[in-house]
Amino acid sequence: MAGHSKWKNIQHRKGRQDAAKAKLFTKISKEIYQAARAGGADPNTNPRLKHAIAKAKDANIPSENIERTIKKATGQLDGVSYEEIIYEGYGPGGVAVMVEALTDNRNRTAADVRHIFTKNGGNLGESGCVSFMFDRKGIIEISRENKDLDEDSVMMAALDAGAEDFEATEESFEIKTTPEDFETVRTSLEEAGYELDTAEISMIPQNTVKVTGEDAEKMLKLVEMLESNDDVQDVYTNFDIDEEELEKMQ
């Protein structure tokens, strides 16, 4: 579970924010589009859309932008058509990498992703070559910056809401759910007054691969370049880098 926070902590350590606001808006808008297109415009009957809208609101995307995207997806407005693609491969040191993309041009995206892998010492593989190494889980994190939070109270609130697992780290309380229970647990914690630092459905590696030296530097660059691509929605890996190794890269 703690491995899920590794990349986020590295980004923070490197002083790097997520994508620029405009890029983030584009990625979330694509996610809303695809969710509405696949499951309909009503978030009450479309959990995927409900989750995407929640992400949009967390990112301060205006409501009118959200509504316009949903209308495009359901044919009420003209718009481009996106398709979902998952790329799988290996990074430096044998690290497993999964890339989720939404694109209106499959050939362009495939070429871009392949180039990024090759440039950073990795290679694309066949569908299914690494996906079996990951489990799809709901992940919720509550920061421990609020010193008034009681660990036992947070744990009981999470478990009572249907959480699958709970872990306390130095930085946060980490809550794991099944994808099906994610929205229920998230809503219950928010209604209980907890401020959620992270709430997403993610791919959690079953095991991690430790990388050092040049492999570690290339691995970080690989993930950064993939995340910077407009068509890439999410990147999942199973790498691990020691704190001492991170210090060398500052």
| pLDDT tens for each residue of 221-230 | 999 899 889 8
Alpha-carbon gap, residue 184 to 182, rounded angstroms: 6
Amino acid at 166: F
Cβ proximity of 89 and 126 under 8 Å: no
Greater confidence, 10 or 219? 219
Longest CA–CA span in the chain (Å) reads 54
Residue 105: both structure tokens together = 């041009």
**Predicted pLDDT of residue 219:** 93
Alpha-carbon gap, residue 190 to 51, rounded angstroms: 14
Alpha-carbon gap, residue 228 to 211, rounded angstroms: 22
| pLDDT tens for each residue of 139-188 | 999 988 866 788 999 999 999 999 999 999 888 899 999 999 998 999 99
Helices (H) and strands (E) in the chain, counts: 9, 10
Domains of the chain as residue ranges with CATH:
2-73 (1.10.10.200), 83-132+207-241 (3.30.70.980), 134-205 (3.30.70.980)
pTM of the predicted model as reported, rounded to 2 decimal places: 0.79
Alpha-carbon gap, residue 237 to 208, rounded angstroms: 8
Question: Would you place residue 76 in the very low, low, confident or very high pLDDT band (cuts 50, 70, 90)?
Answer: confident
Question: Would you place residue 26 in the very low, low, confident or very high pLDDT band (cuts 50, 70, 90)?
Answer: confident
The pLDDT of 108-130, averaged and rounded, is 96
Q: What is the CA radius of gyration of the chain?
A: 19
Instruction: Tell me the percentage of the chain whose pLDDT exceeds 70.
Output: 90
